[in-house]
């Protein structure tokens, strides 16, 4: 159950906003001031929770006035007085939203949650007021209909087309008789998706596996035991015991190494059944979200929510998505079945007669990996310290794009442990970069890149540099050891940095087109291509050094990592694709959902013949990407973009992974361009041809003769 809003708090906040001292209070509100921080980054040390609601309210009021000024302009609609004027409106609202919603994800609190419950409906209604403003849309249509004779440059024309399309997709053509319902749907969806995410965060934080018998932890490494003991000793009730959680840095190594099957089952069950019952149950929320999305799509003239979403993506149709997923699914499932057979054989050879279950998979996968390749996380981790990987990424960025990273301790950060850097191209600072590395209860799980400010050119012609943030949940330091990453975490770091580069290197005029503001199935290209450098031998020699001795990673270990690179790809791809199919099944519905997410999920997995030893990477009740994270009908994009990135990296391999000409082309045609042209046009400008699916299948060890 979601925590109730404190009546005292809410009343106090609203009274504060409306008090006689409002004018004086606003003078002390950082959001109403010009920030005198380095590069005008948010003054986190001065921002208080009581500043948010007044800033949201004033931001909404200001943009409403700006919209009225556009609508009431007596001059004929033009690109400058309508499209550009709209683009540059709402600066205060953008300013407060960027800070609040980012911190709500990584520095959450009961008070932040309460504020979100107030401002989300307000901002949703405000957005609808703009999208459904008939007079404003008529001016936009007038400019759009004259686009051929308006003398616009490429980026101006793209902004016009995207603005027009955005208003159509936002309800600009919805009949007046349906607008009330359209607004109700949007407001309800914004509240439901927020509640869904809060439930997942609360359920994840609530669970602990407490073990008081060391004998039951056989198989765990000393470092893992130390981390669990440290977590236990932080609480008087668990002191002297061992605590494990369902946050991935704790759960993954436990499932890989703990020999006690019952404990693995207990932890896995808690993870895989999150939010299926009790006070954080998301089941009813899922049905309502799915049904409201379907209803909204039909109001907009689409057969399903997936049709609506994909119409604005590279894939265009659900059929194209399912066709791609199936091409990878068939060889991936075949590989997963081979892997399952190997693990079942191991179980029998141990003299056991139990069936292979999902909570056994990681244990036997890790065990077989050690046997086949003499390789495990504990051999790898000492060479992949967080500091070393970070410096390796910087070296790659400097070699590819000539940019450097300099820490600036004068830049305010939002909490302890966050680091701030100037990103420099020569002598010019082109971005500010925050990095937030480790888990905490106030941070949602996963890893992501976001912006506190996006790159653009202001209305008076000044270039505005981006303020980028990379948020991760990497393994925390243990005792006198620094944070040591496994190779999955290392690739995640490279991945998120790729997203960061998309924003850092943006060279666009308009904020709504810059950086990562591209279609969902194109945005993963810059991130996923960066992963290729993480595993390259030449690059590993640059950054993978033993945290204690400084020894460069030996060739023998690199060879083992390379040999094992396609190990487990049946499981990895199958769980990913299963989640993608589940997403599509929910969002291609044309009739109301059944009211039973577990049953729906079971039917969806039966349809693709998923083996029972594997579940989707995310089950319905904690699938935040699609129910609270903006990836609805878009989880396929990781596979779609993998086709692009595998093909694109071939261009680097053909001429050398640090070839200046290829790197310059990727920077110029992909990273700098944002959404200023159609994604496939940008890709063709870089690659010179359409992408092939063969590289991804080859890279993942899925080029089975049956599927070539």
- C-alpha 332/C-alpha 329 separation (Å) is 5
66 pLDDT above the threshold of 70: yes
Q: pLDDT > 70: what percent of the chain?
A: 96
- In the numeric block, the tokens 């009330």 are attached to 180
What are the residues whose beta carbons fall under 8 Å from the beta carbon of 591, sequence distance 6 or more? Answer: none
Mean pLDDT of 68-75: 98
Output the pLDDT for position 597: 92
Whole-number pLDDT of residue 79: 98
Q: Which of 117, 454, 496, 672 is catalytic?
A: 496
Judge whether residue 4 has pLDDT over 80: no
Distance CA 511, CA 93 (A): 14
Per-residue pLDDT tens for 644-703?
999 999 999 999 999 999 999 999 999 999 999 999 999 999 999 999 999 999 999 997
Q: Look-up: residue for tokens 């309508």? A: 82
Residues 420 and 306 in one domain: no
User: Which H or E element spans position 420?
Assistant: strand 419-425
**Residue 179 maps to a domain:** no
CA distance 473 to 492: 10
Per-residue pLDDT at 188 exceeds 60 = yes
Q: Which of 219, 249, 273 is the last residue in one of the domains? A: 273
Query: Domain ends where: 246, 273, 300?
Result: 273
Q: Which of 221, 255, 273 is the C-terminal boundary of a domain? A: 273
Confidence category of residue 22, pLDDT binned at 50, 70, 90: low
Nearest-angstrom CA–CA distance, 172 and 221: 59
Same domain, 337 and 394: no
Residue 93: pLDDT over 60: yes
**Domain-located, residue 195:** no
Sorted by sequence, the CB contacts under 8 Å of residue 72 that are 6+ apart come out as none
So what's the pLDDT on residue 23? 54
Calpha distance 360→352 (Å, rounded): 13
Domain of residue 212 covers: 207-273
DSSP per-residue string spanning 638-684: HHHHHHHHHHHHHHHHHH-TT-HHHHHHHIIIIITTTTSS-HHHHHH
CA dist 81 and 92 (Å) reads 20
In the residue annotation, 162 being an active-site residue is answered as no
Residues 484 and 384: beta-carbon distance below 8 Å: yes
Are 620 and 286 in contact by the 8 Å Cβ rule? The answer is: yes
**CATH number reported for the structural domain that contains residue 348 in this entry:** 1.10.1370.10
Taking residues 178-186, report their average pLDDT. Answer: 96
541 assigned to some structural domain: yes
CATH of the domain at 44: 1.10.1370.40
Does residue 282 register a pLDDT over 60?
A: yes
Q: What is the pLDDT of residues 283-313, one digit of tens each?
A: 999 999 999 999 999 999 999 999 999 999 9
- Interval 583-608 mean pLDDT: 93
Does 499 share its domain with 387?
yes
For 234-304, where are the alpha helices, taking DSSP H only? Answer: 248-257, 261-272, 283-299
pLDDT greater than 50 at residue 16: no
Q: Note whether 591 and 665 are same-domain residues.
A: no
Position 21 pLDDT exceeds 80: no
In sequence order, the β-bridge partners of residue 608 are none
Residues 479 and 228: their CA atoms lie apart, in Å, by: 12
Q: Residue 210: helix, strand or coil by DSSP?
A: strand
Contact 648, 666 (CB under 8 A): yes
- Cα–Cα dist 643/528, whole Å: 10
Same domain for 214 and 356?
A: no
**pLDDT tens digits for range 540-562:** 999 999 999 999 999 999 999 99
Q: Name the token pair of 268.
A: 């896995």
Residues 244 and 354 occupy one common structural domain: no
The count of structural domains within the chain is 4
What is the rounded CA–CA span in Å between residue 69 and residue 201? 42
Q: What pLDDT does 17 receive? A: 38
Q: Give the residue-averaged pLDDT of 82-100.
A: 98
The DSSP bridge pattern shows strands 428-436 and 419-425 to be antiparallel
Report the percent of the chain where pLDDT is more than 90: 91
pLDDT in tens, 318-373: 999 999 999 999 999 999 999 999 999 999 999 999 999 999 999 999 999 999 99
Using CA atoms, how far apart are residues 154 and 150, in angstroms rounded to an integer? 12
Residue 388 and residue 464 in one domain: yes
| Separation of alpha carbons 301 and 445, rounded Å | 36
Rounded CA separation 393/543 (Å): 8
User: pLDDT (tens digit, 9 = 90+) per residue, 240-266?
Assistant: 999 999 999 899 999 999 999 999 999
* pLDDT attached to residue 594: 75
Q: Is residue 202 part of a domain?
A: no
Say what angle helices 176-206 and 110-131 make with each other, to 10 degrees. Answer: 160
Is the residue at 186 inside a domain?
Answer: no
Burial (CB count <10 Å: 0-12, 13-18, 19+), residue 100? buried
Does residue 545 sit within a domain?
Answer: yes
* Contact of 400 with 663, CB cutoff 8 Å: yes
Task: Say whether both 26 and 122 belong to one domain.
Answer: yes
The long-range contacts involving 658-661, CB below 8 angstroms and separated by at least 24 positions, are 658/399, 658/400
- Asked if residue 512 and residue 438 are part of one domain, the reply reads yes
Reported confidence tier of residue 27, pLDDT bands at 50, 70, 90: confident
Indicate whether 148 and 247 sit together in one domain.
Answer: no
Confidence tier at 3 by pLDDT (50, 70, 90): very low
Note whether residue 299 is domain-resident: yes
Residues 510 and 586 in one domain: no
Helix (H) or strand (E) holding 97: helix 91-106
Give residue 11's pLDDT: 30
**C-alpha Rg value of the chain to the nearest Å:** 26
Residues 6+ apart with CB under 8 A from 544: 383, 384, 388, 392, 552, 553, 558
Question: Mean pLDDT of all residues in the chain?
Answer: 93
d(CA 474, CA 496): 12
* Whether 45 and 146 share a structural domain: yes
With 90 as the cut, is the pLDDT of residue 31 above it? yes
In a domain, 196, yes or no: no
Q: Using an 8 Å Cβ cutoff, are 624 and 300 in contact?
A: no
């Amino acid at each position: 159950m979601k925590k109730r809003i404190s009546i005292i708090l809410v009343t106090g906040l609203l009274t504060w906003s409306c008090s006689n001292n409002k004018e004086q209070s606003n003078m002390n509100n950082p959001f109403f001031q010009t920030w005198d921080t380095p590069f005008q980054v948010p003054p986190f040390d001065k921002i208080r929770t009581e500043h948010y609601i007044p800033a949201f309210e004033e931001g909404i009021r200001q943009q409403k006035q700006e919209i009225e000024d556009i609508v009431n302009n007596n001059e004929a609609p033009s690109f400058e007085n309508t499209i550009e004027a709209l683009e540059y409106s709402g600066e205060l609202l953008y300013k407060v939203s960027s800070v609040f919603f980012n911190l709500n994800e990584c520095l959450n609190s009961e008070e932040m949650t309460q504020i979100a419950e107030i401002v989300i409906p307000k901002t949703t209604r405000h957005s609808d007021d703009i999208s459904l403003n008939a007079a404003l849309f008529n001016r936009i249509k007038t400019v759009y209909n004259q686009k051929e004779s308006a003398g616009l440059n490429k980026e101006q024309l793209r902004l016009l087309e995207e603005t027009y399309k955005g208003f159509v997709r936002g309800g600009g053509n919805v009949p007046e008789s349906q607008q009330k319902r359209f607004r109700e749907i949007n407001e309800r969806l914004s509240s439901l998706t927020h509640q869904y995410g809060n439930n997942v965060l609360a359920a994840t934080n609530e669970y602990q596996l407490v073990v008081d018998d060391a004998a039951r932890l056989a198989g765990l490494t000393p470092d893992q035991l130390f981390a669990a003991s440290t977590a236990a000793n932080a609480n008087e009730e668990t002191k002297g015991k061992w605590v494990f959680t369902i946050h991935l840095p704790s759960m993954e190594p436990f499932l890989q190494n703990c020999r006690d099957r019952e404990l693995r089952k207990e932890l896995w069950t808690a993870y895989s059944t999150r939010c299926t019952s009790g006070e954080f149950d998301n089941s009813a929320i899922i049905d309502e979200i799915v049904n409201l999305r379907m209803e909204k799509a039909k109001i907009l003239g689409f057969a399903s929510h997936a049709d609506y979403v994909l119409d604005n993506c590279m894939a265009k149709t659900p059929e194209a998505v399912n066709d791609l997923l199936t091409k990878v699914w068939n060889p991936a499932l075949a590989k997963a079945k081979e892997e399952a057979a190997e693990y079942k054989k191991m179980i029998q050879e141990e003299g056991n007669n139990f069936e292979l279950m999902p909570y056994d998979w990681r244990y036997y996968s890790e065990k077989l990996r050690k046997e086949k390749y003499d390789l495990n996380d504990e051999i790898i981790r000492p060479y992949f310290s967080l500091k070393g990987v970070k410096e390796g990424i910087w070296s790659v960025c400097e070699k590819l794009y000539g940019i450097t990273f300099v820490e600036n301790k004068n830049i305010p950060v939002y909490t302890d442990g966050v680091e701030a850097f100037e990103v420099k191209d020569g002598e010019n600072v082109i971005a500010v970069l925050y990095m937030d590395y480790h888990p905490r209860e106030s941070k949602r799980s996963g890893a992501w890149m976001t912006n506190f400010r996006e790159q653009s050119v202001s209305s008076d012609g000044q270039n505005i540099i981006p303020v980028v943030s990379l948020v991760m949940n990497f393994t925390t330091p243990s005792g006198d050891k620094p944070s040591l990453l496994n190779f999955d975490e290392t690739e995640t770091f490279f991945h998120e940095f790729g997203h960061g580069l998309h924003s850092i290197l943006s060279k666009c005029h308009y904020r709504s087109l810059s950086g990562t503001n591209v279609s969902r199935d194109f945005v993963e290209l810059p991130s996923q291509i960066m992963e290729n450098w993480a595993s390259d031998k030449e690059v590993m020699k640059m950054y993978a050094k033993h945290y204690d001795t400084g020894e460069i990673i030996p060739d023998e270990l690199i060879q083992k990592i390379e040999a094992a690179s396609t190990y487990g790809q049946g499981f990895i791809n199958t769980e990913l694709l299963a989640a993608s199919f589940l997403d599509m099944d929910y969002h291609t519905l044309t009739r109301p959902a059944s009211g039973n997410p577990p049953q729906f999920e079971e039917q969806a997995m039966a349809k693709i013949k998923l083996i029972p030893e594997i579940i989707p990477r995310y089950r319905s009740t904690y699938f935040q990407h699609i129910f609270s994270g903006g990836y609805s009908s878009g989880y396929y994009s990781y596979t779609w973009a993998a086709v692009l990135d595998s093909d694109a990296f071939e261009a680097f391999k053909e001429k050398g992974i640090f070839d200046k000409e290829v790197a310059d082309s990727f920077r110029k045609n992909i990273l700098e361009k944002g959404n200023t042209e159609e994604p496939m046009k940008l890709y063709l400008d870089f690659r010179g041809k359409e992408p092939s699916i063969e590289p991804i299948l080859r890279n993942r060890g899925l080029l089975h003769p049956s599927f070539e």
